[in-house]
Amino acid sequence: MSPIKQRLLEAIERTPESLLEQTLTFLEFLTSRTQSAAPDFDSDFDSDIDSNDQILADLKTSLHQAKTGQTFPIEELWDGINV
């Protein structure tokens, strides 16, 4: 197992159950975004190492925001967005 996966698993073990659903949703969003995006060869998002580090950093930020109550009710996520 890679060190990053091990750190993620350890963070998950320390995360309260009430935050795990939000964490999973965020991780699935990141995964689908990176899998469905067309490659941009001009961006800094070229290597697996950079993308993994960025995903981990974003996940840590999201976990911190969730733990400190910096969240929005799901009902409000799309307020004001015209599709």
pTM: 0.39
The pLDDT assigned to 68 comes to 86
- Tens digit of pLDDT for each residue in 7-65? 988 999 999 888 888 888 888 888 887 766 555 544 554 555 567 888 888 888 888 88
Q: How many CA atoms lie within 13 A of 11 on its CB side?
A: 19
Largest CA distance in the chain: 43
Q: Give every CB contact of residue 74 below 8 A, 6+ residues apart in sequence.
A: none
Question: Hunting for tokens 């995006």 — which residue is that?
Answer: 37
The pLDDT assigned to 14 comes to 92
The pLDDT assigned to 37 comes to 54
- Phi, psi angles (nearest 5°) of residue 22: -65, -40
Contact between 65 and 71 (Cβ < 8 Å): yes
